[in-house]
Structure 1
Amino acid sequence: MTARRLSRTRAAVASAAVTAAALVLAACGGDGGDPSHTGHGSARAASPSASAPAERGGHNAADVAFAQGMIPHHRQAVDMADMAADRASATEVKELAAAIKKAQDPEIRTLSGWLTSWGEQVPGEDASAGHSGHGDGMAGMMTPQEMDQLEKSSGKAFDTAFLKLMIKHHEGAVAMARTEQAKGSHGPAEEMAAAIIASQSAEITRMKELLGTD
């Protein structure tokens, strides 16, 4: 009996040693991943906010509100940008609309991915446009009437309406992003908020120049 117990003890110790070694190797392997998978390069990968959100408390209610609000907000901007393809007359307006769509489509996918990973509801497609009326109370969102009027216009009238409405829309997005920066805890969401503030503030300046306003 003593020999048997000794044999079992030795086997258990050997098994524990193998398990510990495997855990160490797994931990070391995690540090050698390709930084390109973060989408932001090696400098961003090394950032605590990007690589270790759990250490900062993961996400909070402000992060969820930011994602759930920005998705329909971005979708409406994309809807407006789509109208410019065949309604705008100025090349600058068409180019601006294309840039808005190119930037915001990927952000919608990223925001949706965060909500899914957090076990939170992703806003449905019907919450995106003013036609549905779901976003009327959100910062900068167009009303159904404004979206209908924009859709029915063309040429220079469309250009003017598009620029005025998109300025208002961008200002709403910037306000939402500033709230995320002040109250959010999810590092990547705060980084997206900073990017939105920078890019959309620059676009607001450009749109005002096209309108000839300050």
Structure 2
Amino acid sequence: MGCATSCSLSVGASASASTVTTGGSVTLSASCSGSDCSGATYTWNGPGVSAQTGQTKVITVPTTAGTYSYTVTVVKGSCSQQASVNITVTSAPQTCAVNRVRLWFRAPGDCCMDRLNGAKIQGSNNGSTWTDLYTITQNGTGSWQEFTFGNTVSYSSVRFVASSTGWGELFELEFYSGTTKLTGTPFGSAGNSSTDNFDKAFDGNTGTQWHGPTVGTVNNAGLSNVGCATN
């Protein structure tokens, strides 16, 4: 139905955000200008929204990514006007909460495997305040070992911290969220020299080792800017 010549009604539609992640909420708003706006009714339609009334409306967007259109119809007497707004729905980012660590501590047949016992896995979102996520209570084996724990919080940085008797002593260190290996920028404390610096724990080579110059919890190695690998 069109607006009669005597009607004074101009309608617009907007959203509180043009891009929303799947399953998120957004507020739809209708604007009206003209002398006939007073007393007009507002009705919204769109994906998941059927004949819902109100000049503003909080909706939950679809759970599938895409671009969706929402239309408001404004009616005053015999006068009707419509306006639409598009919302882009994007997939929610993958959660990368570390809950598994895979590491290689010292070489087969080495001494001092008990130095792994007491090492910690920690997470941080500012690089200065760290939260203990897991304490290792086993000795090293000189081969690959895996440790799982119940963390559900995503951190921008994760790290391994040596025990009070440890020197780092890792040949390799990997962080996982379930079966997904976490990516990021390696960081850590220095080694004795460039040949045994912290980066050796992340080079994919079980023939190179990170070994700190002194004993204790000052030795740490981890990843910043943590994300989930796509391959």
Compute the TM-score of the two structures, normalised by the length of structure 2. Answer: 0.21
Larger proportion of helix: 1
Compute the TM-score of the two structures, normalised by the length of structure 1. Answer: 0.22
| Structure number with bigger Rg | 2
